[in-house]
Amino acid sequence: MNTFLLALIILGVAECGRHEMKKLPRFPEPPFLKNMTREAKREYHDILRKRNETIATQKQQVLAWAKNHGIEAQVREFDAELNQLKAQQRENVTALLAELPQAYQRLNEIKDNENQTPIQLKEALDKFQNSNKMVYEVLMFASGRFPPRIRPQGPRRPWSKWRRGEATHTLVSLLIRWSIWLTQPLWPKSFILSKDI
């Protein structure tokens, strides 16, 4: 019984902690830290942990740290690659945003066409998706952010929240409450018989 209770508690804590871990992204270390000593890595991370300083100040401190350890060229090269990746990302996002208005209009034309069968609609949507997958994914994400406000008539199905993933915390809290309830005695101590009887 205790093992079962312990397993339930561990599962509950793991489930709750899983959502917290998603909030903290883990980035790989820069390549210039690969052959550095533990002390040098600690100094580098201490510079980046200072949240009250500006990014420009942190960059200057990292360059001073790199100069002190003889890897200034590697740090500058890494920074140049990072800036190049940022510029490339901005170009890609700008190009994607330029395509979105026309693609959204085309998607609406496909969805609003009532002179097609549901099979033809699915084929047209698949063709649209295959033409530019990134644009399609962005449009579907944006469409999902604004769901229709009209609810169907009748009572809401209780299992629908399980499909949306809203019931995860409810399940964990129920499991924890149930495990606490199992550890409580079934009747008060005054009803427990003594050993003599």
Tell me the C-alpha distance between 175 and 9, whole Å.
8
What is the percentage of the chain residues whose pLDDT exceeds 70? 60
Residue 26 lies in a domain: no
- Count how many domains the chain has: 1
Between residues 23 and 86, the one the model is more confident about = 86
Residue 107 lies in a domain: yes
Indicate the pLDDT class of residue 153, thresholds 50, 70 and 90.
low
Beta strands in the chain (DSSP E): none
Half-sphere exposure of 16 (CA within 13 A, CB side): 13
Tell me the C-alpha distance between 135 and 128, whole Å.
9
Q: Are 73 and 32 in contact (CB under 8 A)?
A: no
Residue 114: DSSP 8-state: -
Predicted TM-score of the model (pTM)? 0.54
Contacts 24+ apart (CB under 8 A), 7-13: 8/175, 8/176, 8/178, 8/179, 9/176, 9/179, 11/172, 11/175, 12/172, 12/175, 12/176, 12/179
Residue 6 lies in a domain: no
**pLDDT at residue 197 greater than cutoff 50:** no
pLDDT at 191: 47
Between residues 5 and 68, the one the model is more confident about = 68
Mean pLDDT for the stretch of residues 18-39:
73
**pLDDT at residue 26 greater than cutoff 90:** no
Which domain, by its residues, includes 105? 92-145
Burial of 135 (0-12, 13-18, 19+ CB in 10 A): buried
Indicate the pLDDT class of residue 145, thresholds 50, 70 and 90.
confident
pLDDT at 143: 81
Lowest-confidence pick of 91-95, 96-100, 160-164:
160-164
**pLDDT at residue 174 greater than cutoff 70:** no
